[in-house]
Amino acid sequence: MKLQNILLAVCTGLLLTLSATAAADWQQEFLGAELRDANGGTVPVERLKGKIVGLYFSAHWCPPCRKFTPELVKFYDQLQQQKQPFEIVLVSSDKSEKEMYNYMQETKMKWLALPYGRPEKKSLSQKFSVTGIPALVILDATGQTITREGRAEVTTNSAGAFAKWEKTASKEAAPASKEAAPASKEAAPASKEAAPAGEDRPAISGAEVGVWTQDFAAAQALAAEKQLPLLLNFTGSDWCGWCKLMDRNVFSQAEWKQWAQKNLVLAYIDAPRDKSLVPEKFVARNQQLAQQYSVSGFPTYILLKADGQSVIERLGASREATAQSFILDLKKALLQTRPGGVKALLSPEQVAALEQAETALAAAQKPFDEALVQAREEYQRLNLAKQQAQDEAASKAAQEALDKWNAEITPKIEKLHAAVQSANASIAALYEIAVQKAEEK
């Protein structure tokens, strides 16, 4: 899609050039065309245009959510009074649409929500690796991730959090003026801008080890011939901000190219706005592959075995990703295909530590999941009692009971969650040791 409008904005003293059309494309791609307000009213997604956006993963029944939400409401209201370019979109995990609207109204959320039950919720959770709530993911006006730690930053630095996000966004957006200008020439370099790492477009026929190609069949054949894993890059090359970020920070780097040329076959599965960027014969095939591998957002990276079909791992984009970190993620995934797997690379003591960590994770995960279910049920019971209160005194007593329960359950759930995170961290550390030993061998 050609850029039609150039939006000029001033952020922390820097002149930023953003594509209003591209921003709207991102918003609609991940959130849909419409959002909802607290009364169920329909609001076009364009309201988010040109703003820093917080995706708030939360639920009415979740005690930690109910503890954090009043802080976030106060933070949001202050920024609105200051007329700051900031919006929040609630991504609800409530049991019903009615619960979601009750939550918004009771806590006085003035922001918007993803319509209840929309499939985008699952894709957003996967893209941002949201495994627990509440979570607040902060995005800039082009849809790139500023931080996944919005909750912690609002809690610990509410006075300076937005300025920090704005400063980070301005640094990321500054080069955009070069991409967007001059508007009259923007169509000419589209093929270069769309290509990984700013190079020529991927090949449309044939395949070479470590070089992107659009010819999936050739990539499959080469992977089988060389007995190398095949990495599929599902991308929107001429519009997806995260795709371009990964191209710049990972795939353009010499470290990535050198490693890929020895270890991977690379297939580029593109869904651009400019249809001339992909040969017509590949369009339907790319759509079929996206459906086959349940791709719900861009970029998505699917690592396949040498047979070109069996999935080893799914990976996504990260603002913090580097060539080194992405290669490490791939190495960890590839350990699963080695004879004996990860444990064959570890010492007996390390194997014992890994098994202990896996046991600890299983032991921690079950009570954490059960506690969340129980908390949800108890919250619904207490909240129903409040709604059914016959007079003001009964309503006040019900609210006090709800507040007391919330204060008691929140630290318990946070403690259980911390145990899950600790076990996961131990497992990750041992996998990194296994990767190092595999390279030594």
pLDDT digits (tens), the chain, 441 positions = 332 332 222 232 332 333 333 434 577 777 888 899 988 888 888 888 889 999 999 998 888 888 899 999 999 999 999 999 999 999 998 888 899 999 999 999 999 999 888 777 777 887 777 777 888 999 988 888 888 889 888 988 888 899 989 887 765 544 333 333 333 333 223 233 333 433 468 999 999 999 999 999 999 999 999 999 999 999 998 888 888 889 988 998 998 999 999 999 999 999 998 889 999 999 999 999 999 998 878 899 999 999 999 999 999 887 778 888 899 889 888 888 888 888 888 899 999 998 998 899 889 888 888 888 888 788 878 878 888 888 888 888 888 888 888 888 888 888 888 888 888 788 888 888 888 888 777
Using alpha carbons, select from 85, 92, 128, 425 the residue that is nearest to residue 297. Answer: 128
- Contact (Cβ atoms closer than 8 angstroms) between residue 382 and residue 394: no
**Which pLDDT score, from 0 to 100, does residue 171 have?**
59
CATH C-level class of 190-337: alpha beta
> Would the CATH topology of 6-179 be identical to that of 190-337?
yes
The residues, ordered by sequence, that sit 6+ positions from 88 with a Cβ below 8 Å of its Cβ are: 53, 54, 55, 56, 72, 76, 109, 111, 112
Three-state DSSP state, 294:
coil
- Which amino acid is present at 401? A
**Which pLDDT score, from 0 to 100, does residue 429 have?**
85
- Contact (Cβ atoms closer than 8 angstroms) between residue 239 and residue 189: no
Residue whose structure tokens are 């630095």:
157
For helices 120-127 and 20-31, the axis angle rounded to 10 degrees is 110
236: its two tokens: 């929107």
Q: Which residues are bridge partners to 26 per DSSP?
A: none
pTM, two decimals, is 0.49
**Which pLDDT score, from 0 to 100, does residue 156 have?**
85
133: its two tokens: 């709530």
Using alpha carbons, select from 251, 266, 264 the residue that is nearest to residue 206. Answer: 266
Q: How far apart are CA 392 and CA 147, in angstroms?
A: 43
**Which pLDDT score, from 0 to 100, does residue 303 have?**
96
Q: Which residues are bridge partners to 92 per DSSP?
A: 58
CA 102 vs. chain centroid, Å, equals 27
Cis peptide before 134 (omega within 30 of 0): yes
Q: How far apart are CA 132 and CA 421, in angstroms?
A: 11
DSSP states along 170-223: HHHHTTHHHHH-SGGGTTTTHHHHHSGGGSSPPBSS--BBTBEES-HHHHHHHH
CATH for 6-179, among 2.60.120.380, 3.20.20.70, 3.40.30.10, 2.40.50.180? 3.40.30.10
Q: How far apart are CA 104 and CA 37, in angstroms?
A: 9
- H or E segment and range at residue 74: helix 63-81
**Which pLDDT score, from 0 to 100, does residue 277 have?**
93
Domain ranges of the chain: 6-179, 190-337, 343-440
